[in-house]
Structure 1
Amino acid sequence: MTTPDFVVALREHVGHSPLNLVGVTAIVFRDEKVLLGKRADNGAWQPISGIVEPGEEPADTAVRECLEEAGVTVKVERLALVQQLPRVTYANGDEVDYLDLVFRCSWIAGEPHPADGELTEVGFYDLAAMGDIDDAHVRKIALAVAEDDPAHFRGGRPPRLDAPAARD
């Protein structure tokens, strides 16, 4: 996966320390099928995803990533899920904490193809035939299926009761 220039610049200052980044996952539907791609780096099947660039609207990131990675034009319909992903440690030691914004999208135009080298295969697949997909991605797709459900959020834990009181 290509690392955005702004992340490379940050890494010059923070080394391998954890970065908090915002990512998006685009769950794209065409008829009764969902857009999935096979990642070039690890061979995993998943929906289209990417990192939000500084100053970029997250929904615009979903549209951009679909065009860059799969060669398709999409329309973002709604936010389906907001979640903090477990910390990722890459092979080079870089650590990242991703806030993942999952969007339900609809296909507008273009036939899917591996457009930028991040995917080796890409296409629309029947929902019932998604056998080789991680459970976390299946959950994202399931939450995006409904056209008008409210967004889902993880967390919402109450504050610790033993936390020291704020001082004036």
Structure 2
Amino acid sequence: MPTPDFIIDLRAAIGTAPLWLSGVTAVVLRGEEVLLIRRSDNGMLAPVSGILEPSEEPAVGAIREVYEEAGIVAEVESLAWVHVMDPVVYGNGDRAQYLDLVFRCRYVSGEPQPLDGEATEVMWRRLDDLDDLESDDHRERIRVAALREPATRFER
């Protein structure tokens, strides 16, 4: 996945020191289906996700990521889950940890297609057919968003 310019600038100043970053996951639902991408960096299936740009509103960032990665117009319905992900160490030694905001989104229009190089494939998948997703965490993000609970889930 391409590294945003603002992170490249930060890395020039701090090296591989840990970065605390805000990320979004957009769980786009269309009936009993969810939008998935096959990531170009590792070949695994996952919902659309990404890093927020400085000053970007989280819901706006989620919708931007969906359009940039998958060519789909979506609308945020609600914030489904707020959680802190485990620390990550990338192959080049960079360290980061993410506050992930999971949004339940509604499909509006468009045909799924990989647009920005972050995905090699984009597809609709039935909610009961998610065994080959990248991780249990991604399955949980989809599960929580698909529940349509009236309140956001916060980890405590």
> TM-score interval w.r.t. the shorter chain?
over 0.9
**Identity of aligned pairs, percent?**
50
Q: Which runs of 5+ in 1 are unaligned?
A: 156-168
Which AA in structure 2 matches 1:7? Answer: I
Quote the residue 1:136 is aligned against. Answer: 137
- The equivalences for 1:128-167 within 5 A come to 128-133=128-133, 134-155=135-156
User: Where do 5+ consecutive residues of structure 2 fail to align?
Assistant: none
Question: How big is each residue's C-alpha offset from its partner over 1:48-81, in whole Å with a ceiling of 9 and x where there is no partner?
Answer: 0000100100000000000000000100000011
Paired letter, 2:55:
G
What is the number of equivalent residue pairs in this alignment? Answer: 155
The secondary structure found in structure 2 opposite 1:12 is helix
Cα deviation digits, residues 12-35 of structure 1 (max 9, x gap): 110000000000000000121000
Return the TM-score normalized by structure 2: 0.97
State the Cα RMSD in Å. Answer: 0.8
Moved over 3 A (4+): none
Cα separation, 2, equivalents of 1:149 and 1:33: 20
1:158 aligns to what? Answer: none
Q: Within 5 A, what are the aligned runs for 1:63-74?
A: 63-74=63-74
Shift of 1:122: 0.8
Q: Tell me what 1:117 maps to.
A: 117
Partner residue, 2:106: 106
Within 5 A, what are the aligned runs for 1:13-162?
A: 13-133=13-133, 134-155=135-156
The answer to whether the 8 A contact 2:80-2:149 is kept is no
